[in-house]
Amino acid sequence: MTYTLEELGRTFDLIVCFDSHLDTSLGGDRDAFPEELHLAAERTSVHTVFRRLYGELPGLRSGSDDSPHTDIVVTIPERMLESHIAIQQRDLSVQLTRPGENPIDFYVGFLRNILDVDIYRSPPSSLLGLLDRTRKARDWLLDIDVDYMHDMQGECYSPITKGLKIGNLQNMAHVLEFVQRSAPEVITLSEAKVAAIRNPRSNFSKLLDEFKSLGYRVEEKAIFEEDSGIEKQIKDCADFYTEVAKGMMAGRIKRNPDSSFEDFTKEEGLAAREFFRKRGYNL
């Protein structure tokens, strides 16, 4: 996805992301992975990368920086936002909020302060609630991670498999209505399986046909030859997080929460090289 944006070589007033996950890892771990895994590893930090491409993280901006600023809105189902917060608290063994504090309100404010990213909860809110914001933008981009839609759960790399009910995720009809009403200049799509992309009867292909009927031209970028290759890479990255990185992060918070981010990424990089060497990757 970020490769596509870099190739466009342009800026936007607004980027609206549709996603069922918050891909807000700070991205410092990307270089800890073998080069051939960079694309798979970056999946968990896409929203952070968008900010770094278009305006930088608030804590890294210089006082004299007058570069164009892009507003970023991540649209995520409220049920999935709740799940993300619960997983973060479980994996890091920390309580993110004080007693009586609303976890969602806290986390939304946290992301706004740390990443300068706004969160829009849909469902339950209607996607059409974003129209006023898109109409005020001169140039804007819509980024759709297809696992945002209930219709695409069988055609994406990270389907929601636990406790999913109709209404927890958005549906394709509402996404199409939003596109028709808002007319984004550029639409990017990600996370669809190769099998779905190549199947003319898939829901993904139906979505593309609808976009074509609205006048959009389709270009393909960074598509694997087959699903098995990327699925193995995704699994290896996930295993590293589960078996190594998660424990390292939790331990760092308990032992020395004030230690530098650079120290942690150095330690993580050493552990990653050992882990992926055992998985057969060349380092």
**CATH for 98:** 3.40.50
**CA–CA dist 283, 273 (Å, integer):** 7
Contact of 137 with 14, CB cutoff 8 Å: yes
Domains contained in the chain, number:
1
Q: Residue 9 domain-assigned?
A: yes
**CA–CA dist 278, 246 (Å, integer):** 19
Look at residue 266 in the predicted model and tell me its pLDDT: 76
Strand bridging mode 14-18 / 71-76: parallel
Distances (CA, A) of 16 to 24, 35, 100, 137: 15, 29, 31, 11
Q: Residue 250 domain-assigned?
A: no
Q: State the residue for tokens 């410092």.
A: 28
For residue 72, which phi and psi values (nearest 5 degrees)?
A: -125, 125
Give the 3-state secondary structure of residue 126. Answer: coil
**CA–CA dist 116, 102 (Å, integer):** 20
Look at residue 258 in the predicted model and tell me its pLDDT: 59
Q: Residue 115 domain-assigned?
A: yes
Nearest in space to 43 (alpha carbons), one of 24, 20, 15, 56: 24
**CA–CA dist 184, 14 (Å, integer):** 10
**CA–CA dist 214, 208 (Å, integer):** 10
For residue 191, which phi and psi values (nearest 5 degrees)?
A: 75, 0
* Domain span including residue 203: 2-219
Helix (H) or strand (E) holding 156: none
Q: Residue 102 domain-assigned?
A: yes
Look at residue 129 in the predicted model and tell me its pLDDT: 98
Q: Residue 241 domain-assigned?
A: no
One digit per residue, the tens of pLDDT, for the chain of length 283 reads: 555 566 666 788 999 999 998 776 655 556 667 888 877 777 766 666 766 666 655 555 555 555 567 888 999 999 999 888 887 777 665 565 667 778 788 888 888 887 888 999 999 999 999 999 999 999 999 999 999 999 999 999 989 877 677 778 999 999 999 999 999 999 999 999 999 999 999 999 999 999 999 999 999 987 888 998 889 998 998 888 888 877 777 666 566 655 555 666 677 778 888 899 999 887 7
3-state percent breakdown (helix, strand, coil) of the chain, nearest 5? 55, 10, 35
Q: State the residue for tokens 């608290």.
A: 89
- The answer for residues whose C-beta is within 8 angstroms of residue 198's C-beta and 6 or more apart is none
Look at residue 273 in the predicted model and tell me its pLDDT: 86
**CA–CA dist 262, 187 (Å, integer):** 35
Q: Residue 274 domain-assigned?
A: no
Q: State the residue for tokens 């609205």.
A: 214
Q: Residue 232 domain-assigned?
A: no
Contact of 127 with 181, CB cutoff 8 Å: no
Q: Residue 245 domain-assigned?
A: no
